[in-house]
Structure 1
Amino acid sequence: MENQRFEINRFIKKTGVKVDSWIEETISGTISPNKRNLGKLIEKTKKGDIIICSELSRLGRNMFMIMSILNILMERGVIIYTVKERYKLGEDLTSKVLAFAFSISAEIERSLISQRTKEALQRKKAEGVKLGRPKGRLNSKHKLTGCECKIRTMLSEGYPKNLISKQLNVSPSTLYLFMKEKKITF
């Protein structure tokens, strides 16, 4: 993120574009835009606004997501600057064609990275390297770590375990295993 901010700051100094606010994403681009800060930004945009991003692949993780986001922004009259690709995307046809080409190349790049990772893992496995957590070793941290008091309180108040698991956003089996390990009974 620091590298992206650095590149955007260089772009701002070079072009003189004024920045009103910054958004940073700490969650994956595979998550729907409306569940990210990007979605909130898109909702606030209006004609003449400018969005600067380091590259189009930062908007989403596949061609359709990127194209959908760009389509919404372009229909609203928002201009998108991409620092790495050095393009200004607006309402014109050329911008739409460039955006399409960029999103396809970003998706191909991600696909190739994924393929290389899978191949490397297969090679390691073929070499006899055991992948994953060593067999028999337990996790030191669980999704529910730190929730012991809350679980005990909810159980003492008569909440059913299914409702507790929904409240804590875990599956019932995760809750049961955690309760068993922490010896939480009611």
Structure 2
Amino acid sequence: MAGAMQVFRDRALTARRLEAEAEAARDARDRDARAEVERQARVVREIGTGLDRLAAGDMTHQIASPAHDPFPQGYDSLRLAFNGVVGGLSDTIRRITDVANQVRGGADEINMAAGELSSRAETQAATLEQSAAALNQMNESLRQTAERAREAERASGQNRDIAGPARPSWPMPSPPCRASSGRRNRSPASSVSSTTSRSRPTCWP
């Protein structure tokens, strides 16, 4: 009887121990479950915040894992992946921005060059127009000069026709003069006057 009672007590103690162990195991599982829920909630919260910042255009946000409160170890790969994606996007946006700035600078230079070319073209067009006007004026002047020359030539020809054959412009020589010998049969009274008249030459008019 005493042995049976001892067996009964041992079984009761064993049952209570097993029950206590089971209760402790249930408590541990509950704690683990609650901790897991908290870890998952943190992961969802951190990644959600990061996605919200990314959607708002913030390419600098990174999910931190401080030493005093590290990111849940089982989900750290998600954190690293998120940070890598954000970093890659940030680098891509930075390169795109640099290229856009270069394109904008090139476009500004092209616009300036186009403006200068347009200004030069307008200047050259104005110069060509002025040159063409000057050439037209020169051609008209030459035409008028040639017309006046032809008119002068026609007038000169008409004057020559009216004037007749040309006369020499130098003076004609005077006819030679000859001495008058007087009459052969003259009276003695006129000998003196005859002698006087013989000494003077008689010129033809």
Shorter-chain TM-score: what band?
under 0.3
Which one has a bigger Cα radius of gyration? 2
Say which structure, 1 or 2, has more relative contact order (CA 8 Å, 6+ apart). Answer: 1
